[in-house]
Amino acid sequence: MNFELSSEQRLIQESIARFVQDNYPLDARQKLAAGKLGFSETHWSTMAELGWLALPFDAEDGGFGGNQIDTMVLMEQFGKGLVLEPYLASIVMGGGAVKRGSAALRTEILPGVIDGSRQLALAYAEPQSRFDLHDVVTNARSDGADYVLNGHKSMVLHGGSAHQVVVSARTSGGQADTGGISLFLVDMDAEGIKRDGFPTVDGLRAAEITLKDVRVPASRVIGTIDQGYPILTAVANDAILALAAEAIGAMEVLYKDTVAYTQERVQFDHPLADFQVLQHRMVDMFMEYEQCKSLLYRATLEVAQGTSPTAQRTVHALKHLVGRSGIFIGENAVQLHGGMGMTEELRIGHYFKRMLVIESQFGNTDYHLQRFAA
Amino acid sequence: MDIELSASDLSFREEVRQFFRDNAYKPGEDYAKWRLDWFAKAAAKGGWDVPKWPKEFGGPGWSPTQHYIWEQETARATLPWDMPFGVGMVAPIIMGYGNKAQQERFLPDIRARKVNWCQGYSEPGAGSDLASLKTKAVLSADGTHYVVNGQKIWTTAAHIADWMFCLTRTDDSGRKQDGITFLLFPMKQPGIEVKPIITLGGAHSVNSVFITDVKVPVENRIGEEGKGWTYAKGLLQHERTGLAGISRSLVALEGLKANAASVPRGNGTLLDDPDFRAKVAALEIDLLAAEFTELRSLASAQAGAAPGPESSILKLKGTEIQQRIQKLTVEAAGLYAAAWGASQPGPKFARGGMSGYLASRAYTIYGGASEVQKDVIAKNVLGIKRSQA
Ligand SMILES: Cc1cc2nc3c(=O)[nH]c(=O)nc-3n(C[C@H](O)[C@H](O)[C@H](O)COP(=O)(O)OP(=O)(O)OC[C@H]3O[C@@H](n4cnc5c(N)ncnc54)[C@H](O)[C@@H]3O)c2cc1C
């Protein structure tokens, strides 16, 4: 047993922490979020140059050969600055699907992903699917050397700016069958694609994507036809680990800012932190944060190890706890800041909003509790 | 004890419903005109425009049951837009502590909704500890007016208000609760600068108000100099019970159920999901209890007693219930709850759900933050004496 980071991981951690410190004060972030793209292309290039985009890819694909532990280190630091660049969407989700595909596809696609010139996204949700990855109505039928896709994908993270999107579509079976789902890498400039991009409440971007008779060559199928679901769940697990790490970075900011604020703010001739009820509340926030961190390590190590029979269950546990604790910490950070917590001026509110979105991504608190209990 | 409505209560309820039906807004109508007409017609019914005002000031003099019926019906009907600051907040203070001239001068316009008011209490350094406020009012040598200087914060609707009722400090030599003076002054005058504060949902409702050398004639002082705290405290009590919003929550709960029932899950809807259903049920149980807590409070107020212990918990329970309804609405919207900006994909309630939830976080902050409210209950209701501050 060893919870220490390797010296390489520590170096990456420090370099990301510095990047966040230098580039992500709240006003700079909000300016980027309000811009056309919603993030900085310069930052994205920097991330490529520093090798961060290569982190979770195999060396033979031009990657750094890292695993979920390396992504965790990175995402936790990103969480502290609410980083806007599409790392999760392009590297963990889109890239995460492609890297589980054929060698030919990896050779074609991944170099551009790693050098940042090609941005990917993952379209897994549909208007009716709620959190079930296997509830897929979008369909693909084979037509010569192509597949023809029709359907509606919803809330696609960074789907508005991605060049290519991994789309789950039904090639056989009933609406909620886990079998019969296939993954396609779809060019966003293909004929029949309609994208409606919009901001989300946390300052990120998402898109509704409709596909009307979109032709996708069979070479762009990820994995095997009808057997996309195991890839999809593996990618979802990686994404949950990454989101949880980001959430934990954000939780740290929320509870620490609250501890600092209550020691400065004076009411009734005392710093707020003198009041025991607030002390206890902050201790609760801190405990939730630590518990989440423990479960993050547990789930990340189990998944990274690759053979743990309980890994899936631990991922459910993690997503549940992070959702529950993230909202508890966020709501109380706002409450303990009083009126100031309700403003857009302090960072608290923005971290809280990110918590709310993380809570619903890839299944909310209740959903994962049900999965865990099942 | 009896839970049945009497025949006269039932006919009162029908009369209220009829009034709402007869005077409902018709699409296309001039809204501002409809609004003022509505209040005028409600006034003609005998104080229906100011249900909570005492009879001698034109209120209807209803029984607790009638108030309860009114609350229930108004929660369901679409009433004209109204703000609490005039009719609900400053008016009771003017009635209780203002002189005859002030009552004649201010109450008719408040009642007719001709003048918008804002509440200038909180300051950057005086939130929960309101009595530590510092906005200074200095009486002129000839005793005709005060000169006011200071800063207010979180002032809801200051940007659309015509008048402010303002707590100022006229004396800082003694206890901080002493030396506070209650002044009224117009907002649209030199020396008053209003700056917007944007809150989490992106809305502009609160403001900072900077007050520089504003002259306020002594005729605009309510009651005695230095006694403002006593007057304001009475009002805060009033404000708090109003913030519980139990009837509105009962209607909002129905809305939540309808929204959840519109979200497909498997062969049924989200409302059939046992876990979601159980959370809605637990909320409903708290609401059933809170509804009767409110009724008990209304009844004891009517009997002339000081608000009973049950009223002290209404604000706490009521706001917590409102927040839970908002939270479950966000949950019901699923992934779509995150959608923001102009395009609104997903179910109709998703976008409003998120902004409603964010706004609801303030319910446990304003009108007495929950932690401080609990301190007050511990001290005043449970009678707990602490050996230190
Ligand atoms: C949306 C909104 C609208 C508002 N509208 C108005 C308005 O129209 N007019 C107006 O005058 N004001 C208004 N307010 C201000 C409101 O009344 C104050 O925010 C409130 O009194 C709390 O003060 P504060 O924000 O300074 O928080 P603080 O007093 O700094 O409190 C911060 C936290 O510390 C806790 N705390 C404070 N003291 C204690 C204690 N002794 N023991 C334990 N915990 C404690 C509080 O519960 C809170 O959680 C509004 C506020 C909001 C958010």
Spell out the domains of chain B, with CATH numbers in brackets: 7-82 (no CATH), 116-226 (2.40.110.10), 245-380 (1.20.140.10)
| Bigger pLDDT: B295 vs B138 | B138
Per-residue pLDDT for B389 more than 60? no
Token pair 């039928």 in the structure block, residue: A141
For CA atoms B257, B260, B261, B265, give the dihedral sign. negative
Mean of the per-residue pLDDT values of chain B: 93
Ranges of residues in chain A whose predicted pLDDT is under 50: none
Per-residue pLDDT for B136 more than 80? yes
pLDDT in tens, B99-116: 999 999 999 999 999 999
pLDDT at A66: 95
Q: Count contacts between A and B (CB, < 8 Å).
A: 124
Distance from the CA of B118 to the center of ligand 1, in angstroms?
A: 17
Q: Coil, strand, or helix at residue B139?
A: strand
Comparing A76-80, B233-237, B285-289, B378-382, which segment has the lowest mean pLDDT? Answer: B233-237
- Whether the full predicted model's pTM is greater than 0.90, yes or no, is yes
Residues with CB under 6 A from ligand 1: A 265, 267-268, 272, 275, 277-278, 335-336, 338-339, 342; B 119, 121-122, 127-128, 154-156, 206, 362, 365-366, 369, 371-372, 375
Residues of A in contact with B128 (CB under 8 A): 267-268, 338
pLDDT at A85: 98
Per-residue pLDDT for B11 more than 60? yes
Integer distance in angstroms from the first to the last C-alpha of chain A?
29
pLDDT at B305: 67
Is some CB atom of chain A closer than 8 A to the CB atom of B339? yes
DSSP 8-state assignment for residue B52:
T
**Taking residues B267-283, what's their average pLDDT?**
95
Ligand 1 pocket test, pick from A262, A264, A266, A267 with the greatest ligand atom count within 8 Å of Cβ, gives A267
- Contact call for residues A71 and A242 (beta carbons, < 8 A): yes
Encode B203-238: b = buried (16+ Cβ within 10 Å), e = exposed: eebbbbbbbeebebeeebbbbebbbbbebbeebeeb
Query: pLDDT class for B387, splitting at 50, 70, 90?
Result: confident
Comparing B208-217, B223-232, B321-330, B375-384, which segment has the lowest mean pLDDT? Answer: B375-384
Q: Collect all residues with Cβ–Cβ distance below 8 Å to A147 and sequence separation of at least 6.
A: A140, A141, A169, A171, A182, A184, A215, A216, A217, A218, A221
Comparing A29-33, A265-269, B129-133, B300-304, which segment has the lowest mean pLDDT? Answer: B300-304
B77: left (phi over 0), alpha (psi -120 to 50) or beta: beta
CA closest to A337 among chain B residues: B365
Query: pLDDT class for B236, splitting at 50, 70, 90?
Result: confident
Per-residue pLDDT for B61 more than 70? yes
Residues of B taking part in catalysis: 239
pLDDT at B307: 67
Token pair 């708090």 in the structure block, residue: B240
CA closest to A354 among chain B residues: B338
C-alpha closest to that of A98 among A132, A72, A70, A63: A63
Q: Which atom of ligand 1 is nearest to the CA of B124?
A: 26
Residues facing residue B126 across a β-bridge: B123
Cβ count near A28 (within 10 Å): 13
Distance from the CA of B337 to the center of ligand 1, in angstroms?
A: 28
pLDDT at B225: 97
- Contact call for residues B329 and B335 (beta carbons, < 8 A): no
pLDDT at A122: 98
| Bigger pLDDT: A363 vs B386 | A363
Domains and CATH numbers, chain A: 7-118 (1.10.540.10), 121-226 (2.40.110.10), 230-373 (1.20.140.10)
| Bigger pLDDT: A14 vs B386 | A14
Testing the interface with A: which of B340, B373, B374 to mutate, by most A Cβ within 10 A? Answer: B340
Residues facing residue B221 across a β-bridge: B183
